[in-house]
Chain A
């Protein structure tokens, strides 16, 4: 009798299902990935700021840019190389009439139609509030916004996916989104309430650690600005490509910091960025890239052009004609205190909740005739998309500021305060109904131009805790809607 002993194996020597599966997957990917070099094309945009229709550009000529031209180029390049990714580095919202009127809807509808593979969240993508962004994302759920350094407070959970994978030719590409930590200071605070913006470098390292060994290429979509992108490349080794935005930098050809390539495609969709990454054995071997101008030489995609016209421009016309208030008499610009200036300053104060607000006389670009005030008219009065900002100044600093206002002749509008001009200086200054207190800290609202020292408002630069609250037009429209029939009297704030 022969005894056949059954083979015995220790448990540790039996390969688990998971390890067999992983081995098979790795072998599959290795086989799927060609050993010969191939090209992965990255198409990139940034800071489109609502530019859907063509516009005149001094360098590219009339009728430049526009989403329909962008669609043509993207389609052509995808046909040329199916191994293409389309990426955006943030700030699709804010800056045009269409963006303001449709509160970001048009930008995201077209982003969805273009089929972006991933998008970073820019600070201006919060300009219409988180609820609006959430609503648009839910309606266009397949738009993959990424933000690795944004957390919800107090849960500490990411409200947006930090990263996602795209596999091309068997190569695993990890895409990570980063947003500027300055977002809370560059949009209305309520727009980002409950969100914490973390260090981009630390957040990126955390994603890299978590995904270690699972990716072949790492591409960062950064809404940090060029200077910060260079710093990120130095601080965090292992990034293959940074697709940048925020600083509106025109990087003609890809630049290299260490082993990291950096690109950015200027602004407003005037250029489509193209980077061709040569991949050899799952690694980046060569990089070529350029900016493709969207001049009128590029034919507009007829479907996109038609959608812009019929779905948005024609719908915008009645919205621009929407009446927000009726004015009993013309509101004119002019020397000295004006009702129009007072109205604008009042709208800033109401918009921000500041103790007082200022408006420089040169910032008013048109008069308002008597009768209906339309949204279109407001765009004529305030065409520059200036931000309403607040800062903190002491009463002592405000005294110097009021002296400056008096020296300028009292033509700059104020709200929430009164003063008397005597021999070129400010006297009897009241904030609300109380005399100015030298040691008290006051919240002061003004536009971003004045806050940076424009029109000789140097003193505003000394303020602390500077915050942006939103566009000047938005402030005025909200004020007129919320205060029907209330017109500030002329000549009641500055006594001579």
Chain B
């Protein structure tokens, strides 16, 4: 079985060499991150950019941005 990238908790995307965060997300999620209403984080809680490279076993956690 090929390595996977885990998006949030329910969705798994197979890992491809050279894969970036944006290729693992849906068009809606990509647009919302660009608009700033959603943010992507790694498993350690660091924010990650849309063009950030993934590695086998990476985890992307999506969080709503709460407007103050």
Contact = CB atoms under 8 A, between A and B. Distances in A.
A226 interface: yes
A225 B36 CA distance: 23
A483 B17 CA distance: 32
B49 to A, nearest CB: 3
Interface in B1-39: 13-14, 16-24, 26-27, 34-36
A249 B23 contact: no
B18 A268 contact: no
Contacts of B54: 225, 247
A182 B17 contact: yes
A86 to B, nearest CB: 22
Contact of B51 (A226, A228, A267, A466): A267
A248 B51 contact: yes
B42 to A, nearest CB: 7
Given A362-B27, A449-B23, A49 B51 contact: yes
Prevailing SS type, chain B contact patch: loop
Interface stretch (A11-19, A65-73, A451-459): A451-459
B27 A454 contact: yes
Contact of A448 (B14, B19, B57): B19
A184 B16 CA distance: 13
A248 B52 contact: yes
Given A58-B36, A451-B23, A452-B23, A249 B18 contact: no
A448 B23 contact: yes
Given A182-B18, A186-B18, A226-B42, A47 B49 contact: yes
Contact of B48 (A49, A59, A228, A248): A248
A366 interface: no
Given A227-B58, A247-B53, A249-B52, A266 B47 contact: yes
A227 B49 CA distance: 15
B2 to A, nearest CB: 8
A186 B35 CA distance: 27
Given A59-B36, A453-B13, A185 B18 contact: yes
Given A228-B55, A387-B18, A466-B16, A452 B24 contact: yes
A274 interface: no
A226 B13 contact: no
A95 interface: yes
Nearest to B41: A250
Given A123-B18, A249-B46, A249-B48, A225 B35 contact: no
A217 interface: no
A44 interface: no
A218 interface: no
B61 to A, nearest CB: 13
Interface string A155-191: 0000000000000000000000000101001100000
Contacts of A448: 16, 18-20, 23
Given A250-B46, A451-B23, A186 B52 contact: no
A225 B55 contact: yes
A461 interface: yes
A468 B19 CA distance: 10
A59, A249, A387, A461 pick with most chain B CB within 10 angstroms? A249
Given A225-B52, A252-B46, A451-B23, 13 more contacts: A58-B34, A185-B17, A225-B53, A227-B58, A246-B53, A248-B51, A249-B47, A250-B47, A387-B18, A389-B16, A448-B19, A466-B17, A466-B18
The 10 lowest CB-CB distance pairs between A and B, nearest first, are: A58-B36, A186-B18, A248-B52, A248-B49, A185-B17, A267-B49, A452-B23, A250-B47, A461-B14, A247-B52
5 contacts: A123-B18, A225-B52, A227-B58, A461-B13, A461-B14
